[in-house]
Amino acid sequence: MAASFAPPRLADFLLTEKLGSGTYATVYKAFRKTDNREAVAVKVVSKRSLNKSSVENLLTEIEILKTVRHPHIVHLKDFQWDSENIYLILEWCSGGDLSSSIRSRRILPEGVARRFLQQIACALKFLHEKNISHLDLKPSNILLSGTVLKLADFGFAQYMSPWDEQSSLRGSPLYMAPEMVCRRQYDSRVDLWSVGVILYEALFGRAPFASRSYTELEEKIRSDRAIELPPGARVSRDCRDLLLRLLDRDPDSRISFDEFFLHPFVDLEHMPCAESLGNAKKLVLQAVQKDQEGERTAALSLYCSALEHFVPAIHYETDRQRKEALRQKVNQYVSRAEELKALVASDNKISFENAKSSRDILREMSRDKPRLFAALDLAAAAVAKEECGMEDHDTLDLYQQSLGELLLALAAESQGRRRELLHSEVRRGSVTVGSHSSSASLQRRTS
């Protein structure tokens, strides 16, 4: 009797423990029968369980996985068949799936969830460029190899151009977009909804439509009520914005793929990857050069830009000794950036004192220009806040608003003494805004 539950036999592989099973497939851990005993995952599909639809899905899955190679997509190494089964030999991921990871930790810190999201987004960008939609994104279909995520199970995946539409149900109800559950025409944007559900679950420990029955789940999905974050949810402004835009019930107003890839919370430019360290080193060399030349504001800006690549480089590094050496280097750059920040602030204070008299003259000459006069008032308010030690986002906003108005006034001003004073004010404002922006970036990266 027990023999009927034994794994099937494959000439080149020894199938061992069962990892999971679905409607028509079972996945086993296996080892290649060679000296290196390479570990793989073998997806075993029983031919008897296949109908016309599932045959088409399987053929599409094999075709897609044969043609795609990406660090965040599970690699199909080979496929075989015999009289009873079809076998997909897949890359082995030792860390289980994202669902197990979330359950074991209950919730993921926003920083961890963000790094996972970046990897999902990186894989989706690759698929989107090839007009491939996954159509079954969920935590159990996202595997972990160390801290690297890999999209898996392309059994429902389809080639879908942006104008292609489908109406058949695909995927798991808890992660299905409303337009799919309601059996309306849908397109590749359903994957974005699923990403929103995955991010929500990672951050809050449950999906937004967690229910006790399918009927209750369907009612919640069909409802017109906007998705809300749990009471007291403590997430960043960018994270909240992305979540609510992904989980928009209306696919026409839901965030688009291009907007998703460029969203500041996703920030693909600074995701941990093989290029992170090289980008960081290039920028830090430029920072050191500007520092040596005495160009403090430019050096500060470049150090901050370098840190935006050094931090993901640390996360990407797997060797403990190299990771620790990187941390020590980064701490040195952070210290120098902090010193430069103080020096630039001191330089600006001296500049403020020198600028005071010329700004007062410009104010007197601008009483007949209400918008210009108001812009100078904003600049004065920003200076006053900074002199009181209030270097916050409100101060930067005041500087930016003032600079915007001053630039407009400068463009319309004719030649003369007022234009000269206005030009000097704009130049000082630009330097100050650049300094504040660099400081804000430094605070975000080192907090």
Q: How far apart are CA 121 and CA 204, in angstroms?
A: 20
Q: How far apart are CA 353 and CA 356, in angstroms?
A: 5
Number of neighbouring beta carbons within 10 Å of residue 26: 18
Cα–Cα distances in Å, from 197 out to 59, 88, 227, 249, 257? 28, 29, 11, 12, 16
Choosing from 78, 97, 136, 347, which is the catalytic residue?
136
Backbone angles phi and psi of 147, in degrees to 5:
-105, 10
Residue pair 164/87 in contact (Cβ under 8 Å)? The answer is no
Q: How far apart are CA 24 and CA 185, in angstroms?
A: 26
Q: Residue 43, annotated ligand binder?
A: yes
Q: How far apart are CA 203 and CA 89, in angstroms?
A: 33
Cα–Cα distances in Å, from 328 out to 51, 288, 332, 383? 59, 17, 6, 36
401: Cα within 13 Å, side-chain hemisphere: 17
Amino acid at 447: S
- 136 is an active site residue: yes
Residue pair 311/330 in contact (Cβ under 8 Å)? The answer is yes
Dihedral angle over CA of 22, 25, 26, 28, nearest 10: -130
Amino acid at 102: I
Token pair recorded at residue 119: 């990897």
Task: List residues forming the annotated binding site for ATP.
Answer: 43
Catalytic residue annotation:
136
Task: List residues forming the annotated binding site.
Answer: 43
